[in-house]
Chain A
Amino acid sequence: MGPRRQLQVMVSALAENVERAIAGGPLLVDVTANAFGLGLARVADIARNTGASGLYVANADGALAAQATAPGLGIFVGRAHVGRQDELRAAGIRPVGQADAAVARDAVYGFGGRGLAVASLHSELLSTKSIRRGDGVSYGYTYRAARDERTALVALGYGDGVHRHAGNRSHVLVDGTSAPIVGRVAMNVFVVSLGDRAVRPGARVTVFGDPACGEPSLMDWSSALDVEPAAVMAGLGDRVERISS
């Protein structure tokens, strides 16, 4: 129960990205930061099924967590404290310098505009409201309505990974039509302007997704915020349900 907040992970797109990248030579799939928020077990399965040479994690703590989650796959670590080498070796984790494979990140996850889009972030309208010309919206009243208009509350905030500075800067899709985020994003909600549109509570909100389906891309979203796409995806909170599609 509770408001809908979902990250749909497009498993077939991830697999296709890995397969395309493997065509260029042996590959380690970078699963740093819980596979950049997509879920390590899910991405490890894809790596296994597509014949990747193993997994890569940038740091020792993450590599040990990956080893516990995805046994049976070769795991390579980036930079680790010299005092942890015995611990890593005992877990079967090797330094990436020993791998005969390249580490792939952007091409796998579609970061930096490379590869297919692999995930879409959705929520729903909680409620709508008619506000009047001059009314402020959210903390600090950084937005003032230039005319009477309709607004709606969306159940995502910076605690879910939508940056606080997305207000008055970024757009989302509401029921398929672009709507600007107005006022400051709060910890758990943001407000969109609907203009004159009448949209019902429960309407689908898309923050980013598959440009091939007319959704804004992760790159559009992250570049508007001046945040790396990998940090956007990895920064999505635990309340955002990850589902494979």
Chain B
Amino acid sequence: MTRDVWAEIDLDAYRANIRRVRAAVAPASVMTVVKNDAYGHGLDRIVAAAVDEGIRFVGVLDAPVGVALRRAGLPEDVRLFAWLFGPQEDYADAVANGVEIGVSSETQLERIVETADGRPARIHAKIDTGLGRAGARPEEWADLVAAIERSADAGLVELAGVWTHIAEASDEEDGVSIRAFERAVAGVSEGRRTGLVRHLAASAASFARDDSRFDVVRVGAFGYGIAPGDGVTPSSLGLVPVLSLRARVVDLDESGGAVLSIGSVDGLPGAGRRLEAAVDGRRVSITVGLVETTVAPEAGLTVGDVVTLVGREDRGEPTLQEWADSTGTIGEEIAVRLSPRIERLTHGG
């Protein structure tokens, strides 16, 4: 247990965000993304809250996470999706536990069939619509789809979805990717398109454009109340930050600065940075150090005062997005970098 630094996870806020997202993207449905320990918010509590809110699709990234969720009793009607695999992956556990699998290449398809212990894997074929990471390039797509359809005809796999990631570089370029995705879907035989889950959008696109939503949107950041940044705040999107990071003043330094037992080794943005924090809604200036952070003496804090490093706008606190904007990154990076050693306390249900 950590007593001088802790994070509070507000599950009521998470539920409210999920409701907000579902309303915004309907009739598309929501796959809630819980990779990286639910963006540092704690996997189990976030999945439980999401399922209780009616979410029936959970994106886990890593297959073992999905397997563990299923083995811990996640109902069979909650679908699981994983999409990061090693070149020598063994897919048996994932397939046996109903974890659906993102497939980028014929090589990977062969590996799935070889290692799935004879069970047909439910797969989602990935097209690279410009991001240049995983996924078959358009010139490889027809061959991948043909190979998948042959395997499906033989009962070796089940084609459950087609998907992609987009770059969010500009509206125009996202439009190019969306059209490339539509062409890829049209490349699947007509008889196999019924019931196919098409998914392209993550948080930002899911709110910004209705032509990105297709059947399912994959929402991580917005569920946690993390806004995209560049001045776009959580409240402007109707979202509430779920995580608040707090520390209490453990000592005063020789110049009267209030010392907090958290620094860049615990995941705060690089040492030497000046950022804002809040005490009872009042902004104070902080300097991040390697193992400690110091609140400016002008704040007049005393030992035991509680400082909120990141939290919620409606309490006058900086958000992850505000810190991200002032350090040149995105809120997700700050959230997932927060050390797992920092205890997460749950509020709400």
Residues of A within 8 A of B (CB): 1-4, 32-34, 36, 58-62, 65, 78-84, 124-127, 129-131, 135-141, 151, 153, 155, 158-159, 161, 163-165, 183, 186-189, 191, 201-202, 226-228, 230-231, 234-235, 237-239
Contact = CB atoms under 8 A, between A and B. Distances in A.
A24 B79 CA distance: 60
Given A1-B64, A141-B167, A188-B35, A235 B130 contact: no
Contacts of A126: 84-87, 134
Interface of B: 1-5, 35-37, 61-64, 84-90, 93, 104-105, 107-108, 128, 130-134, 137, 167-169, 173, 248, 250-251, 259, 261, 263-267, 270-271, 290-292, 303-304, 328-330, 332-333, 336-337, 339-341
A188 B329 contact: no
A158 B87 contact: no
Q: Is the interface of B mostly helix, strand, loop or mixed?
A: loop
25 contacts: A59-B250, A59-B292, A61-B1, A79-B251, A81-B250, A82-B251, A83-B304, A84-B4, A124-B87, A126-B86, A127-B87, A127-B105, A131-B137, A140-B167, A140-B169, A158-B332, A158-B337, A165-B328, A165-B329, A189-B133, A202-B87, A202-B88, A228-B264, A230-B265, A231-B264
Given A33-B265, A81-B248, A61 B167 contact: no
Contacts of B337: 158-159, 161, 235
A226 B327 CA distance: 13
Contacts of B2: 61
B55 to A, nearest CB: 20
Contact of A79 (B64, B167, B259, B328): B259
Contact of A60 (B104, B130, B261): B261
Q: Which of A60, A61, A183, A237 has the most CB of B within 10 A?
A: A61
A161 B265 CA distance: 11
